Chains A and B, each alone.
With several copies, the nearest count.
Chain A
Amino acid sequence: MEGGQPLVYFDNAATTQKPKQVIEAMNSYYENTNSNVHRAVHTLAGEATEGYEMARTEVAAYFGAPRDHLIFTSGTTEAINLVAYGWARANLSKGDVILTTEMEHHADIVPWQILSKERGIEIRYIPLERDTLTLDMEAFEIGVQEASLVCVVHTSNVLGVRNDVERIIELSKTTGKKGSGAFVMIDAAQAAPHERINFVELGCDFMALSSHKMGGPTGIGGLFVKPEIMETMIPFISGGDMIETVTLEGSTFQKGPQKFEAGTPRIAEAFGWHASVKWLSKFDMKMVHEHVSNLAKMTAKKMSSIPGIRIYGRHDLNTCSGVVSFLHDSIHAEDLAHLLDSGGFAVRTGHHCAQPLMEALGVSSTARVSFWIYNTVEESDAFIDYLTSIVEKFG
């Protein structure tokens, strides 16, 4: 920063900083193990393959699932696209309804819109209750009865609200699709850094997430899929490594996650993600949640007493995550972010890839601070002081 000012990083919902163990794991891969995987018998290739597959085992285990439940993707976005291309295109057709919400990230909207346009599948959106800023669960109870696929964000990247995914899954399974049960996709991108999720216990069919939001590297993420459902999926990205045999007439495919991992995979990235879950395993995630959630609650509370600041979110709920979205009555969000940046506070502004939610909130953008493990009360206090001075000067 200008003048060597220290940086306070409050943009963790966009991407987290990486612990040194993660950087070291990737360095060690590149320096000692670098080799392509699955394809050769030499020692390095064996070590690389073992490390890559061990990453699958350990990342899957961190989320309470056996290794054959986890397909590596480049992130949440590709994971949701894999559900759309690999599963929905093979299992849904005209007349089916995809139920999602107004609270979704674009990653959980646009793929369905494209599918809908192509296949005539209908999308319906559960609204946000304008007063409580939570999903309208009564509307969900009715809507789910017609739904074949339910796609819901676990924890909002704007409001910090955690949806009652347990109930959503329960309702989908028991009353979905006229009682025969709906499939459920959970966008866990913002949940994974905040709580320990057990995919198998959760009971959804698909769960998408990104490594880079939980201390891991960019370029990798995953889709968890129940194996019996994985079997009903068609190939998405195709090429080497995902095939069993290729002839000029046609090809047959691998079974399990490999069917969906074509080409040279994200090898170093898998080593890095593995290191990040190993690092996270050392924390009690209940305490991490409490720490981060408390920072958000405390910050939101103090901010709301700054004149003109308006908070968007429910920081009275215990389940709230580390996100505080806010606006000032007269200072534009973008100006706010610039001004805060000049004080060394990295704060995000914009529509947060959630334009329909912005629409529901009646704004075009918000400023957002988001905390993680390493943020402190002191940083929050300094932020409040600086924000106060900005509001005094520019408000």
Chain B
Amino acid sequence: MNEWPPPLQEIINEFKDCFDRMERYELLFEYATKLPHELQAKDWTEENRVKGCQSEAHVECTLDENGGFQLHGAADANLVQGLIAILAIGVNGLPPSEVALINPEFVDEMDVKASLTPSRANGFMNMFEMIRQTAKIMSKEV
């Protein structure tokens, strides 16, 4: 069993309580609106674009004044943006070294992966890797 940062664990539990896929989607849509640091469309660049997504998705990572990790992002599809939001809520403020170790399997536990296509899953994995790599570099720099 994986251990998740408490805010992430909380979200996972929420998804586990859902009745069916439709309810999980509704929840994802809801999270899409709760994205902490939305990356404005004007800041979407080739650099921060997530490859392998069918839709457009962009993410950037920064450190806050306390050295805590901050994920910024946005996507044109709500389900993708919902995933970004969940990840952001789950990890924001953590030391980058911890973020670098997070396992992407939380998506399985939320049981939304079944509803991602391999190409989407791929996009998600690519996004996840972008984030982990950056966190890794940040944790060395700190």
Partner of A365, one of B22, B54, B80, B116: B54
Contact B76 A332 (CB under 8 A): yes
Total residues of chain B contacting the partner, CB 8 A: 21
Q: How far is the CA of A49 from the CA of B118 in the complex (A)?
A: 7
Binary per-residue interface labels of chain B (29-67) against chain A in the complex, 1 for a CB within 8 Å, 0 otherwise:
100000000000000000000000011100000000000
Question: Given that A332-B77, A332-B78 are known contacts, is A45 also in contact with B117, CB under 8 Å in the complex?
Answer: yes
- For residue A349, CB closer than 8 A to chain B, the reply is yes
Binary per-residue interface labels of chain B (9-40) against chain A in the complex, 1 for a CB within 8 Å, 0 otherwise:
00000000000111001100100000000000
- For residue A393, CB closer than 8 A to chain B, the reply is yes
Binary per-residue interface labels of chain B (87-122) against chain A in the complex, 1 for a CB within 8 Å, 0 otherwise:
000000000000000000000000000111111100
Contact A334 B22 (CB under 8 A): no
Find residues 349-366 in chain A having any chain B CB closer than 8 Å to their own CB: 349-350, 364-365
Contact B115 A342 (CB under 8 A): yes
Partner of B120, one of A41, A43, A343: A41
Main secondary structure of the interface of A (DSSP, over half): helix
Contacts of A339 in B (CB 8 A): 22, 25
- For residue B74, CB closer than 8 A to chain A, the reply is no
Contact B54 A3 (CB under 8 A): no
Contacts of B56 in A (CB 8 A): 364
- For residue B79, CB closer than 8 A to chain A, the reply is yes
Contact A393 B26 (CB under 8 A): yes
Q: How far is the CA of A338 from the CA of B79 in the complex (A)?
A: 9
Contact A350 B54 (CB under 8 A): yes
B33 CB, nearest partner CB in chain A, Å: 12
Q: How far is the CA of A278 from the CA of B76 in the complex (A)?
A: 41
Contacts of A349 in B (CB 8 A): 54
Interface residues of A (CB under 8 A from B): 2-3, 38-41, 43, 45-46, 49-50, 53, 331-335, 338-339, 341-343, 349-350, 364-365, 393-394
Can you add 15 more A-B contacts, CB < 8 Å, to A334-B80, A338-B115? A2-B21, A3-B20, A38-B118, A38-B119, A41-B116, A41-B120, A45-B117, A334-B54, A334-B77, A335-B29, A338-B25, A338-B79, A339-B22, A342-B115, A393-B26
